[in-house]
A and B are shown apart, each in its own frame.
Chain A
Amino acid sequence: MKKWYCMILAVVFALVLLAPAAQAEVDFSGEQINWIIPFRVGGGSDVWSRLYAPFFQKYLPGNPIVAVKNMPGGGSITGGNHFEQRVRGDDGLTVFGSSGSTSFPYLLGNSKVRYDFAKYHIVFASPTGGVAYINPELGVKSAADLKGFTKEMNYASQGATSLDIVPLLGFDLLGLNVKAVFGYKGRGAGRVAFEQGEVSIDYQTTTAYIKNVRPLVEQGLAVPLMTWGVLDDDGNIVRDPIEPDLPCFPEVYEMVHGKKPSGQAWNAWKAFMIAGFGVQKAMWLPEQTKPEVVEAYRAAAKKVIADPEFQVVVEKSLGGYQQMAGENARKAFDQVLSVPKEDKAWVVKWIKDEYDIEVK
């Protein structure tokens, strides 16, 4: 009898000792991880995920296959809603990749959106930057000349509820007279329209800017104005390290208005700028995911980002921006999640007043 008692005690004791260890041991050996990308194959977010996928395969415990699953539709709302409504399980076998186009309808309170970033666990986030430039024929030599500049300009836009909120609201904040021409398909089309003279002010992501607009600047066909800036560790918007000679948006605001930016319009711009650029793309785990799985993912993301081989990829294909893993990403994205209701409502009203477009 005593023997039994001892054995049970020993087993219980062993279990108590082992339990946390067993729990902490996340192993994906032989598993396939599906990474839902709510955009079509070959698009920006798809390329981003495919650049990351092999490195996650390398650093996640057990080296699972990381497969990108494209689920395009509704400007990424379809994929986001699928993630919210259909993905269950706490084992981290399905992850989601969001982009600015996923965050914007979420911020604007689009009624079709079912997903809620506040519930999910962020793994890492990738920032990007934007550079605005202008047609030299308008006589603007640099951002300083924008003070009191009132000539009408055209901007090639994809739509007033798209990522273009950032440039359009930005131009408005600077008091520029910019007319949005809607209907262009993507930034590439906007750049071509700029070269054709169809529009006179434009912006490109930094990567596209370097390859496609710098040659124009050298030929005197474009004048760079400013970058949107990047987030520093304290959540401030500072100069873009990729184009350090250009002022960032808050600096230009100061040049034009003579005071530091503040107020509701500025807060709204900043929130959308962070969602659209500062933490443009992010990987998410579902709500129910076990904490140790989240930890395993975040640890893997840190290792991926530290990998010198991946640093080359960042330089070549991701614009050279510092990628954010784990806590850093969470802190940065919290700025998107904590946007006050009034600021969001202000933007919705601004879109309505300015472009007569309802956000439904």
Chain B
Amino acid sequence: MEAFFQALTVLLTPSHLVYLVGGVTLGLCVGILPGLGGIVGMTILLPVIYGMDIHNAFALLIGMVAVIPTSDTFPSVMMGIPGSSASQATIMDGYPLAKKGEAARALGAAFTASLIGGLFGAFVLSLIIPIARPLVLAFGSPELFMLAVLGMSMVGVLSGNQPIKGIIGAGIGLMLGAMGDAPAIAEYRYTFGFDYLMDGISLVIVGLGLFAFPEIIDLLIKGRPIAEKAELGRGWFDGLKDTLRHKWIVLRCATIGVIIGFIPGLGGSVVDWIAYGHIIQTSKDRERFGKGDIRGVIAPESANNAKEGGGLIPTFLFGIPGSGSMAVFLGGLLILGIQPGPSMLTENVDLIYTAIWSLALANIFGAGLALMLAKPITKLTIVPFRYLAPFMILIITFAAYQASYSWGDLIALLLVGILGWLMKQFGWPRPAALIGFVLAGNLEQYLFISVQRYGFDWLTRPGVIIMTVIIAASLGASIVYQNKLKAAGRTAAKK
């Protein structure tokens, strides 16, 4: 315990704070630019940390990665463009709020949720560190497969009143995800002979193509500002109050965030969708989701900050990163001469505490800075979009090109973009496609491993059975929801 607070006093010295704030500033910048996320941020910092004091380097790296899910909310809410893969679900309700001129409120709620979620994540991290190893080890390949299935089941709530479109939409994502190298064998699928497609299309490009590209084009066609009303409505303080009112949602979703974060292999990219799906399933009044329900902003935002804390666990204790940015962070650890492993708990426990405190402080600084920026930045939503459009195009092509530094990135962006625009016009749910894309690799990989290793015995593992029950319950909940909606539709029609 003493070491725990000692780590705080070390971190509060000016030199550490400078690095922490530096990291936070970079993280905010990277997060706010659509398509740039933790991987790019880590890549920028990696050459810098060589030979740096380890605690300073930690403050810098963790400060950066902790606040990306805070600031990436800006483009998600204001333009319907995911700021990074962590804030894709925030679009669903945040963007409609911005259209109604309530961008400031949505942002206020989002940042408060991010702050509480992030702090809660750090807190949970400090509690579960001692039991983290057995917890991580409880998830074998069959359980990981079931988790991926659980993620896929969120498509149920996201496909609205046309389930078949939802399933096909998810299938589009699976097919996009199947491109490139197969997980178990060096065979390249659906590459049409292009070397570029050997590694498949990157998540950044699919995210930008499905969401950013169609939104930019549609706003250009409409030729109006994003906010459909001229006044900006209620301010961020109302959003803050919204979040505090829904404090249980925040804590629940933050818990989901930590858990998904620390399970290696699932990756952080579906955390926001799972939290979003969860909140729809557990709410009685669901009619306003997708049209600007503040809870739809709070849920993903509290989960995505919390997941960064969870994500540190497998990286530290097993040396297996749970997400792209953690993979680069792992490289950073090696450059600093730290070999992750169980001995981190004995030899480098001070580092773990530094990490936890950095996480907590970074969330505070990040949310504070983001709140200060919220007011001026929301003004952008009343600027006619034609003035923003060229810059948005600059940013998304720029971000796409960072995926593999090749022309293929730009062409893939355009093609996935056209696909996304058509899907949007014809009501094919793009969130379902995105979830399918993110989970395609996991589904295939873990199913293969399970069948190769256990035949069909894996179906009887306790973890698998528990997960099956959860999935059945969640699917049942969405079916009840559909029926309610239909019933509501009938009564409305009668009137």
Contacts and interface: CB of A to CB of B under 8 A. Distances in A.
Chains A and B touch (C-beta atoms under 8 A apart): yes
Interface of A: 40-43, 46-47, 50-51, 54, 68, 71-75, 77-78, 81, 105, 112, 154, 159-162, 179, 181-186, 188-189, 191-193, 195-196, 198-199, 207-208, 210-212, 215, 313, 316-317, 357, 360
Given A183-B449, A184-B449, A208-B339, A189 B331 contact: no
Given A73-B198, A196-B140, A41 B42 contact: yes
Interface in B169-184: 181, 183-184
Contacts of A184: 449
Interface in B254-268: 264-265
Contacts of A40: 327
A154 B341 contact: no
Identify the interface centre among A179, A181, A191, A316: most chain B CB within 10 Å of its CB: A181
A103 B419 CA distance: 39
B327 A182 contact: no
Nearest to A154: B453
A108 to B, nearest CB: 10
B343 A215 contact: yes
A193 B141 contact: yes
B140 A317 contact: no
Contacts of A78: 195, 198-199
B341 A211 contact: yes
Nearest to B46: A41
B186 A313 contact: no
B318 interface: yes
B5 interface: no
A159 B328 CA distance: 23
Contacts of A161: 185-186
A139 to B, nearest CB: 21
A262 to B, nearest CB: 30
Nearest to B452: A181
22 contacts: A40-B327, A51-B335, A54-B50, A73-B195, A73-B196, A74-B195, A105-B186, A159-B184, A181-B452, A182-B184, A182-B448, A182-B449, A183-B452, A185-B445, A192-B136, A193-B140, A196-B137, A199-B453, A208-B339, A212-B319, A215-B342, A360-B187
B404 A72 contact: yes
B489 interface: no
Contacts of A54: 50-51
Contact of B405 (A71, A81, A198): A71
A191 B339 contact: no
B132 to A, nearest CB: 13
Nearest to A189: B320
A49 to B, nearest CB: 10
B456 to A, nearest CB: 15
B331 A68 contact: no
Contact of A74 (B42, B199, B343): B199
Given A42-B42, A188-B320, A212-B319, A75 B186 contact: yes
A42 B453 contact: no
Contacts of B405: 71
B454 to A, nearest CB: 9
A50 B335 contact: yes
Q: Which 8 A-B pairs have the closest CB atoms?
A: A42-B331, A42-B328, A211-B341, A182-B184, A188-B320, A183-B184, A316-B337, A211-B339
Interface in B19-40: 39
A74 B196 CA distance: 9
A42 B332 CA distance: 7
A189 B319 contact: no
B334 interface: yes
Contacts of A193: 140-141
A196 B334 CA distance: 25
A72 B186 contact: no
Contacts of B46: 41-42, 50
Contacts of B339: 207-208, 210-211
Given A161-B186, A196-B140, A211-B341, A317 B199 contact: no
Given A50-B331, A193-B141, A211-B343, 13 more contacts: A41-B39, A41-B43, A41-B331, A47-B335, A51-B335, A54-B50, A73-B198, A159-B185, A192-B318, A199-B453, A211-B319, A317-B334, A360-B187
Interface residues of B, number: 49
A104 to B, nearest CB: 10
Nearest to A316: B337
Interface of B: 39, 42-43, 46-47, 50-51, 136-137, 140-141, 181, 183-188, 195-196, 198-199, 264-265, 318-320, 327-332, 334-335, 337, 339-343, 404-405, 445-446, 448-449, 452-453
Given A211-B341, A211-B343, A317-B337, A75 B47 contact: no
A212 B318 contact: yes
A357 B185 CA distance: 8
A8 B10 CA distance: 73
A6 B446 CA distance: 83
Nearest to B458: A198
Contacts of B453: 154, 181, 198-199
A231 B153 CA distance: 52
Contacts of A47: 331, 334-335
A317 B319 CA distance: 14
Contacts of B42: 41-42
B383 to A, nearest CB: 36
Contacts of A188: 318-320
A43 B329 CA distance: 10
Contact of B199 (A73, A182, A210): A73
A208 B319 contact: yes
Contacts of A199: 453
A42 B183 CA distance: 20
Contacts of A112: 195
A181 B449 contact: yes
Contact of B181 (A43, A75, A154, A313): A75
Contacts of A73: 195-196, 198-199, 404
B341 A183 contact: no
A215 B334 contact: no
B403 to A, nearest CB: 10
A210 B448 CA distance: 30
Nearest to B318: A192
B69 to A, nearest CB: 20
B327 A198 contact: no
A51 B333 CA distance: 12
Contacts of B334: 47, 317
Contacts of B332: 42
Contacts of B342: 211-212, 215
A117 to B, nearest CB: 19
A212 B315 CA distance: 12
A74 B452 contact: no
B318 A191 contact: yes
Given A41-B331, A181-B449, A181-B452, A313 B47 contact: no
A198 B332 CA distance: 29
